[in-house]
Structure 1
Amino acid sequence: MDQKSFDGIAGSPEPDHKGHRQRLRERFRKTGEQGLADYELLEFLLFSALPRQDTKPIAKAMLQRFGSFPAALAAPRERLKEIPGLSDISIDTLQAVHAAIIRYHRSGITEKTVLESWQGVIDYLQAAMGQNNIEQFRVLYLDKKNALIADELQQTGTVDHTPVYPREVIRRALEHAATAIILVHNHPSGDPTPSRADIQMTRKIISIAEPLGITVHDHIIVGLRKNVSFRSLQLI
């Protein structure tokens, strides 16, 4: 390659995506998140982790693969690694953002009694479990004023089943000196309709809890975009 050709490459303009980034930043400053499409907000989150890459095709690939902004943000690391262009650092960034969202919602149920901030409970559970692709079972342990003592993820299972041990649930309640509990699990299928096994398991826990003075306030099943309360269905 002659010097003239080399000089032409060395003096080439900056990549166009740098100008795109600046325009996106300016739009965000003026309009906030409402002014950005889902893929643009994902782009924005990836800017600092991928300073020299065009993040638009990466963001669009994420939405195409996972189907929605929440699902892309909550996707497990092994699935995110399948997206071309995502590095370990960029995956760390996305998962830190998702963790921050969960912590933000969780703070809303630790500052009040749980039953007084029921929508906050639902928002927290939806953020923490709504996009999971495996089934999980957790218990919220409450004191006599219905304040949160502990939030424990007790079991992790498969895409359609989690083993639940009723006596372990109650044992932990006694260890926490809890007087009430809220049972929670997710349905990765997206449909939160209770199964016969869900109902039987809940009744088993209630039968052990009641003689010990422990109230089961509810069992919530978290789906993809909605949830179901056993109490609202009069199953408790």
Structure 2
Amino acid sequence: MATEEHDERDFFGERSLPKPKRETAQEKPHYLGHRDRLRERFSTAGGDTFADYELLELLLFRLIPRADTKPAAKALLARFGTFAEVLGAPVNLLQEVKGIGPAVALDLKIVAAAAKRMTRGEISGREVLSSWNQVLDYCRAAMAFEEREQFRILFLDKKNVLIADEVQQTGTVDHTPVYPREVIKRALELSATAIILVHNHPSGDPAPSRADIDMTRTIIDTAKPLGIAVHDHVIIGKKGFASMKGLLLI
């Protein structure tokens, strides 16, 4: 006998129900016309005209096929703040929002992974320093909403084209161990002639600490005699970023 899988999408009426003998326009769910209107507006005007909750509604249309998704969209934004922060939220916290169960939470993370892959494509094979805004967009998508600190390195060739993008260390909510010798060793293995250091502050404040500055200067001093340049150390927060080069700290 076939088994029926149930998730929160079933809860919103995905399972078939007995149809009444007669259906009238008044009996149709109100959200059906709303969905059509939003889709038509997106088709003609594009997503830039949409508020965060409307764009999230559109996304939830596919994930929750038969329900009014506006309450869930607004509840997600009330909990996490912005569209980007909704996609960046961990699965367990997404599921704490009414109407968002395991299946929808996982689908949202798949969308987030696709967005991250798309932003990475913007810098692959390009001269990184001339695509700096795309680099920052990628780093923010990849790291801004992580719950633990990550130390990432972008390895560049002599033309400043990206060779590799690696997370070298993952730490705690407020600390990541960084080993300058390991950073330089990996750069030599990849024949990189320049690197960009990136790490995130889960607290949200991207301001560099004294330890961040000292560690960066140690890496610069270790790399320079070997012909490896450190172009920048960027710290990513939920609301912005800080460039040590831009702050004249390196």
Q: Same fold (TM over 0.5)?
A: yes
* Among 164, 170, 189, the residue aligned to 1:175: 189
Partners of 1:150 and 1:225 in 2: CA distance: 26
Determine if the alignment matches structure 1 residue 124 to structure 2 residue 142: no
- Unaligned regions of 5+ residues in structure 1, if any? 1-6
Match of residue 226 from structure 2:
212
What are the within-5 Å matches in structure 2 for residues 38-53 of structure 1?
38-53=52-67
Instruction: Report the CA distance shift for 1:30/1:208 in structure 2 as closer, same or farther (over 3 A).
Output: same
What is the root-mean-square deviation in Å for CA atoms of aligned residues? 1.9
Is 1:155–1:164's contact at 8 Å kept on the other side of the alignment? yes
Instruction: Report the 3-state secondary structure (helix = DSSP H, G, I; strand = E; otherwise coil) of the residue aligned with 1:232.
Output: coil
**Does 50-59 or 138-147 show the bigger shift?**
50-59
Instruction: Report the 3-state secondary structure (helix = DSSP H, G, I; strand = E; otherwise coil) of the residue aligned with 1:52.
Output: coil
Is 1:39–1:63's contact at 8 Å kept on the other side of the alignment? yes
Instruction: Report the 3-state secondary structure (helix = DSSP H, G, I; strand = E; otherwise coil) of the residue aligned with 2:248.
Output: coil
Partners of 1:233 and 1:73 in 2: CA distance: 30
Deviations 1:24-80 (A, max 9, x none): 212222221133221111111011121122211111110011011110121111211
Deviation >4 Å, runs of 4+: 7-12
Determine if the alignment matches structure 1 residue 61 to structure 2 residue 61: no
Match of residue 96 from structure 1:
110
Offset of residue 8 of structure 1: 9.8
Partners of 2:62 and 2:242 in 1: CA distance: 39
Offset of residue 177 of structure 1: 1.2
Instruction: Report the 3-state secondary structure (helix = DSSP H, G, I; strand = E; otherwise coil) of the residue aligned with 1:228.
Output: strand
Count the aligned residue pairs: 230
Partners of 1:214 and 1:227 in 2: CA distance: 24
**Does 11-20 or 37-46 show the bigger shift?**
11-20
Instruction: Report the 3-state secondary structure (helix = DSSP H, G, I; strand = E; otherwise coil) of the residue aligned with 1:48.
Output: helix
Amino acid at match of 1:205: I
- Unaligned regions of 5+ residues in structure 2, if any? 1-17
* Among 106, 114, 117, the residue aligned to 2:120: 106
Determine if the alignment matches structure 1 residue 156 to structure 2 residue 170: yes
Partners of 1:233 and 1:77 in 2: CA distance: 35
Match of residue 4 from structure 1:
none
Partners of 2:92 and 2:68 in 1: CA distance: 22
Partners of 1:28 and 1:116 in 2: CA distance: 32
Is 1:193–1:221's contact at 8 Å kept on the other side of the alignment? yes
Is 1:191–1:224's contact at 8 Å kept on the other side of the alignment? yes
TM-score with structure 2 length normalisation?
0.85
Instruction: Report the CA distance shift for 1:22/1:60 in structure 2 as closer, same or farther (over 3 A).
Output: same
Deviations 1:157-182 (A, max 9, x none): 22211121222211211111111111
Amino acid at match of 2:215: M
Instruction: Report the 3-state secondary structure (helix = DSSP H, G, I; strand = E; otherwise coil) of the residue aligned with 1:164.
Output: coil
* Among 143, 150, 169, the residue aligned to 2:157: 143
Q: Identity across aligned pairs (percent)? A: 59
* Among 51, 65, 73, the residue aligned to 2:87: 73
Determine if the alignment matches structure 1 residue 29 to structure 2 residue 62: no
Match of residue 198 from structure 1:
212
Partners of 1:235 and 1:53 in 2: CA distance: 53
Instruction: Report the CA distance shift for 1:66/1:10 in structure 2 as closer, same or farther (over 3 A).
Output: farther
